[in-house]
């Protein structure tokens, strides 16, 4: 996590409600760091029941200005890092577990110039999920992808009014709404859903 203080706050909040949590720092572009983080989690809590792969970065630029360095970094974190995280987690996951990726509605509609690479990485994740779902189906592990639209985060704080105006529901999403979809996908009720990409964006991509 790029903001350790936020991670510490979340751990404290979970523990205040009687839960158990640990914050583990790892570079999503570093395969060794990903494996080490998974191992630390397993050593602390035992085999994995569910994993949410939420790391991602965004760099913008038109095709005539986008640097090779930014391209490589976007692919390393948003595509390669997602694959490696799933690979590491699945090897330590109980049969019947749940894997969820957080993609983006840009996978189906790239609405802005200069976002080609970001949209490409998110479309890659949506396709990746389908293939991995088939690979892990014999173990009854489901693999699904959530595709949020504009959501209230630190990244979008300065753009909320403009993004809300562009959304048919005239507001942007709340983190709790994305979390609710995650909660559903890890539940027993979602056990028959796998390989799916679920868009939650207030109609933005319609």
User: Which residues are known catalytic residues?
Assistant: 118
Q: What is the CA radius of gyration of the chain?
A: 17
Cα–Cα dist 93/152, whole Å: 31
Backbone φ, ψ for residue 138 (5° rounding)? -60, -25
Could you write out the three-class secondary structure of 96-112?
Answer: EEEEEEECCHHHCCCCC
Query: Which residues fall within 8 angstroms of residue 47, CB to CB, at 6 or more apart?
Result: 92, 93, 94
């Amino acid at each position: 996590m790029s903001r350790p203080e936020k991670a510490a706050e979340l751990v404290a909040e979970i523990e205040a409600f009687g839960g158990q949590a640990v914050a583990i720092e790892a570079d999503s572009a570093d395969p060794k760091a990903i494996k080490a983080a998974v191992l630390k989690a397993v050593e602390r809590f035992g085999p994995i029941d569910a994993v949410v792969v939420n790391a991602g970065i965004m760099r913008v630029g038109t095709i005539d200005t986008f640097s090779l360095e930014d391209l490589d970094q976007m692919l390393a974190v948003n595509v390669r890092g997602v694959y490696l995280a799933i690979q590491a987690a699945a090897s330590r996951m109980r049969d019947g577990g749940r894997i969820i990726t957080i993609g983006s509605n840009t996978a189906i509609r790239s609405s802005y110039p200069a976002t080609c690479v970001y949209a490409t990485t998110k479309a890659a994740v949506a396709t990746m999920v389908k293939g991995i779902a088939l690979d892990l189906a014999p173990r009854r592990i489901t693999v699904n992808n959530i595709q949020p639209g504009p959501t209230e985060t630190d990244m979008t704080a300065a753009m909320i009014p403009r993004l809300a105006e562009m959304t048919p529901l005239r507001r942007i999403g709340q983190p709790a709404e994305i979390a609710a979809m995650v909660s559903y996908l890890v539940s027993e009720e979602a056990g028959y859903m796998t390989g799916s990409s679920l868009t939650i964006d207030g109609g933005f991509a319609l």
